[in-house]
Amino acid sequence: MSRASDRAYSAIRSMILSGELPAGAQLGEEALAEKCGVSRTPVREALRRLEADMLVLRTDTQRSFVADWSLDDVADAFDLRAKLEGMAARRAAERMTPKSLERIRAANRMLHEAISQPQPDIEGFLECNREFHAAILETAGSRRLAALLGTLIEQPVVWRTAHQYSREALHRSHGEHEELATAFARRDGAWAEAIMASHILRAYHAYADAHRGPAAITVREAAE
């Protein structure tokens, strides 16, 4: 993190995630360089990385812009994430060790603490949630799967909606994590995969409900 290009990457990324750089904004290399206090060289490198993350879009003439996320794009990303994290959960269940299981359970215990306080600690929740999923991904033991998921996990979307979660939603997450831990303990890959997929897709619908008109919600509820 001490390299200038890493600083530029983090700085630009958090400007995008926080909304300081809104969707569609042009990302001039010179301007960013000045903002980050580095030269254009590391900024260029950071932009390429962000492009790979799909947070930045480049036109056919090499201009960079903050990517905008339509509801379809978000649905897409969650759909993929559900499939891939499902695969990770299955693999993790098949490869589970006592040590990994304990790490996963410890993360969820800390998560429970964070959300059980009078005023839920959302940052703590996010951190524990990240650690929980990271532990699973590591246990899955596929560098390639980890790389693919890397571009899907920290989306602007999740970032900004976590703070709207109700206490009930936070506790439901905790409960699903507990169920996952049980599936892991039993080494039941199919179960773990199914729980994980539903866990991710529930998060998607929480997002979608908050970001589209109530009409769609009605349709969805009617279909259930």
Partner DNA sequence: GTAGAGAGTATTGTATACAAAACCCGTTGG
Partner DNA sequence: CCAACGGGTTTTGTATACAATACTCTCTAC
- Contact letters for its own copies, residues 6-45 (x by CB under 8 A): -----------------------------------x--xx
Residue 148 sits in the site that holds its own copies (CB under 8 A): yes
| d(C-alpha 202, C-alpha 95), whole Å | 26
How many CB atoms are closer than 10 A to CB 72? 8
Q: Which of residues 87-146 bind DNA (CB under 7 A)?
A: none
* Nearer of residues 1 and 219 to DNA, judged by Cβ: 1
* Nearer of residues 64 and 155 to DNA, judged by Cβ: 64
| d(C-alpha 8, C-alpha 46), whole Å | 6
Name every residue whose Cβ is closer than 8 Å to that of residue 7 and which is 6 or more positions away in sequence. 1, 36, 38, 42
Residue 66 sits in the site that holds DNA (CB under 7 A): no
* Nearer of residues 49 and 211 to its own copies, judged by Cβ: 49
DSSP SS3 for 130? helix
163: DSSP letter: G
| d(C-alpha 207, C-alpha 158), whole Å | 8
* Nearer of residues 63 and 163 to DNA, judged by Cβ: 63
The minimum distance between CB 23 and DNA, in angstroms, equals 16
Number of chain positions touching its own copies (CB under 8 A): 22
Number of chain positions touching DNA (CB under 7 A): 22
Residue 77 sits in the site that holds its own copies (CB under 8 A): yes
Among residues 16, 21, 27, 77, the one that binds DNA under rule CB under 7 A: 27
Residues 167-203: b if buried by 16+ CB within 10 A, e if exposed: eeebeebbebbebbbebbeeebbebbbebbbebbbbb
User: Contact positions toward its own copies, by CB under 8 A?
Assistant: 41, 44-45, 48-49, 52, 54, 73, 76-77, 80, 83-84, 87, 142-145, 147-148, 151-152
